[in-house]
Structure 1
């Protein structure tokens, strides 16, 4: 068996320890004689798994009292519809900050359900041919003080723009407006102060586990704001009251997520992961910055640690670059179809060795084709 370095943006690389443990437990979980795939979600075996998963996630993210942790279906894109359905019931207004492809999708989805406007749009301010290159200055945001919430995407998976500061809602003139963050592609990559948010959510398939699971962390006072048309299976209130068991949850994805949470705790938690992620991203960005053969567009202060988009200055070499990378076991480097180029995703489970191998290949490819 040969393991490659998988730079996919999601579904993404998982820790090898987790995969091995899952393989060992596939036919018989802890002497139950069953695979987790076969368990009743209401049985004592799976109940112990989901309860441990919630406890571990709360510990890793320092989730304060007064917040529910929900394990839901629908993925990150689905959750972009579920959020407005749950939060626009009392006031039909919400504001969005657009910093990349995902927040563009988010605002378009939300516009189906209410009075939605952009508080800031980084595409309009970008100097790089309409590309997203930065987070707009907080002072330039125009947030309605009566909005039901303000939404932003903490890390733009496609465009490689990441927030490293949390906006101060009082300074924005909207102290009572809850902050909603899509943390799909940087959840658990560094410490986050959950108390600053009304709601945080993320699809699992990047830093948590396999596709099919979405994690939602929602403040208790926001459970009563759903629109009447919100499907019962997606009602935060009902899901919370039933401890994520209102309908059958994605059981196997939750099981793998819990193995990842336990692996993270063995690594030293999210603070330790942040140090590793800084080292990995700095290595890759320094390699790209030292070259005129490769091009990056995102401003340095807003460069994502998780997703690094880059371009060959001579894009006629793209196919050769990808073929050579594959020969070295460096896979899934092709950029998203909407922006082109290349993209390396450096999630928690990507090793420093993988980034070192990519850095070496970048230098070698430039020498042979520059």
Structure 2
């Protein structure tokens, strides 16, 4: 009996390309005839040095990263970078601007408050539906940097354009939309991304930082979080997450083979369009709370809004159970907001999202009878 196909809409760790997983499987026991697994290989070996350097070069080509930016492969996830960013960058003036648009930028700002003065650019809110009009933004002229989360996975808020910071270095957490579209590096000082959304398995975090922002770490900055030391040592100061970087390198190959970032962005537009168009077609039965201009292409939270509001929780549970029966997993919304959430990362195919859109339509038609 054939196994049921699983359609993974998880927010992370997320789906990986099938071709990549198959290659990992083939190479796992004996990496390229060396007689040992990549899991057993020294990070000081020539073989791993080739993987490390090759992954950096592939990423530089995919994103067209200028030569005056360093690429680092670090550990600690996005949460580790909430501390690393201020530890490395806030020392210039002791101040930083944080644009809080959701859960992850809010947590990053709270972490940064341990290391300097944090200015909250936007009015405080508990409802994240997109940034307010720009006349409500309040920047600090002498901030060391401005911080954003480019795509908030919990609330589904994504920046449609890069904020203008008036020359202050912009730092962006791109963990959940990294490698889904091109990046204009002239507008950024640093970018970071945990791998477990679009790039590979959990364990490695990519940092891309402009060289002139190095050498500013606070005296209390731990060595393992120090961008300058890690850049000097080519991300090999200590043992890196070898396996995660190896898989990430294969994902870079896959993205290139699929048509690069232009194609990834096209697919993201198609996939998100299928879900948002289904919401429109079902006449408000499904509702996304985010302002249309700030709706994410990658993480789409939504609620079921029946005529009898008292039945919302019951219908959402029924929706999730029915989806799981069809092999559609990890659609439950984040525990802090509830509801339903579809994460449409690069490895999630258009056909997978079409199946979800069809299910949404069928569920609506059945519930409306």
Q: TM-score range by the shorter chain?
A: over 0.9
> Match of 1:102?
104
Contiguous gaps of at least 5 residues in structure 2: 306-311
Contact 2:146/2:165 (8 A) holds in 1 = no
Distance 2:251 2:82 in 1: 25
Asked whether 1:158 is paired with 2:154, we answer yes
Contact 1:91 1:148 in 2 (8 A): yes
Q: 1:136 offset after TM fit, Å?
A: 2.8
Aligned position for 1:51: 53
The whole-number CA distance in structure 2 between the counterparts of 1:245 and 1:214 is: 14
CA–CA distance in structure 2, aligned partners of residues 81 and 152 of structure 1: 14
Match of 2:356 in 1: 358
Q: TM-score w.r.t. structure 2 length?
A: 0.95
Give the equivalent residue in structure 2 for 1:298.
290
Hey, what's the Cα distance between the residues in 2 that align with 1:295 and 1:138?
A: 26
Pick which of 78-87 and 1-10 moved more: 1-10
1:95 to partner: Cα distance: 0.7
Matched, 1:211 2:202: yes
| In 2: Cα distance, 1:137 partner to 1:243 partner | 42
When the two structures are aligned, how many residues end up with a matched partner?
Answer: 359
The 5 A counterparts of 1:279-294 are: 279-291=270-282, 292-294=284-286
| Aligned counterpart, 2:335 | 337
Aligned to 1:261: 252
User: Contact (CA 8 Å) 1:68, 1:219: kept in 2 or not?
Assistant: yes
1:56-79 deviations in whole A, cap 9, x for unaligned?
Answer: 111111101111000000001111
**Distance of 1:2 and 1:16 partners within structure 2:** 16
Over aligned residues, Cα RMSD in angstroms? Answer: 1.1
Q: 1:34 to 1:139 in 2, by over 3 A?
A: farther
- SS of the aligned residue for 2:235 comes to coil
Q: CA deviation at 1:31?
A: 1.1
Residues 119 and 139, structure 2, Cα contact 8 Å, conserved in 1: no
Is 1:148 equivalent to 2:144 in the alignment?
yes
Is 2:48 the partner of 1:39? no
Kindly state the Cα deviation for residue 151 of structure 1 after the two structures are TM-superposed. 0.2
- Choose the corresponding residue for 1:278, options 269, 273, 276: 269
Aligned-pair CA distance for 1:90 = 2.6
Which deviates further from its counterpart, 310-319 or 192-201?
Answer: 310-319
Give matches, 1:1-370, under 5 Å: 1-121=3-123, 124=125, 130-170=126-166, 175=167, 177-291=168-282, 292-313=284-305, 314-370=312-368
Q: How far off its partner does 1:265 sit? A: 0.4
Q: CA deviation at 1:2?
A: 4.3
